[in-house]
Amino acid sequence: MAKADVPREFDRVARSYELLTGLNPGYRRHLRLSAARLEVPPGGEMLDLCCGTGASTRAILSEHPQVRVTAADASSGMLAEAARRLPDGRVRLLRADAMDPRASGIEGPFDAILMAYGIRNMSDPDRCLENLLGLLKPGGAICFHEYSVTDSSRARATWNAVSLGVIIPGGFLTSGTTRIYRYLRRSVLEFDGVGAFEARLRRAGFTDVRTEPMDGWQRGIVHSFLGRRPEASA
């Protein structure tokens, strides 16, 4: 599947997506962990890119009760689910291509950006990172909550077992299709290792780059990749 087709595939599973992720122990708590790892001033502005059905947006609202959030996704089906699940008035929901948020009127600048399970789906991750750096205030923080298993044979084995044994069958039972979940397995296996993604972030101009772990079966598999826009690039 081409990366550009991913949002359309999410349209097909949008209505059952929260049911499946709700069965995944740690899914929502780990999103809150990544959101909490972002420093945001009270009253600050945050962007939740690839917000899906709003699970990551709700994580932001719970960890940063004072912020205003713009939440964006390219799947209208996922956005319709997000609209039903998010509190009125606190979130601006937009349809946008995460490769180039400005083209959809997302100007920023933001105090912080969360991109949960998004960067792996970008057709040109370096161009996406360049655009995201430009949306942050100087000193602004970014977190990529993402799978990365390439650096560890144990992580790859666990990921293969969970995706083949649980996620793909669970996806079929909840949505009647396996296409997006088979893509998920493959795209995680093909995504950067931790070291390579950190190097990619530094090359893009982010500073203070570091990686924080999750617990549970996701330890060594899902990570918070953190960075900042340098103060000096104002």
Binding site residues, ligand SAM, CB under 6 A: 6-7, 10, 31, 50-52, 55-56, 73-75, 78, 97-99, 116-118, 121
Nearer to ligand SAM, 7 or 140 (CB): 7
**Nearest to residue 208, comparing CAs of 191, 225, 189?**
225
H, E, C per residue of 153-194:
HHHHHHHHHHHHHHHHHHHHHHHCCCHHHHHHHHHHHHCCCH
The CB-of-59 to ligand SAM minimum distance in angstroms stands at 8
Nearer to ligand SAM, 103 or 173 (CB): 103
Nearer to ligand SAM, 83 or 230 (CB): 83
The CB-of-114 to ligand SAM minimum distance in angstroms stands at 8
Give the count of beta carbons closer than 10 Å to the beta carbon of residue 191.
Answer: 18
The CB-of-14 to ligand SAM minimum distance in angstroms stands at 8
**Nearest to residue 113, comparing CAs of 133, 85, 86?**
133
Nearer to ligand SAM, 42 or 55 (CB): 55
Residue found by looking up tokens 């826009």 in the block? 229
CB-based closest residue to ligand SAM: 52
Cβ-in-10-Å burial (0-12, 13-18, 19+) of 125 comes to buried
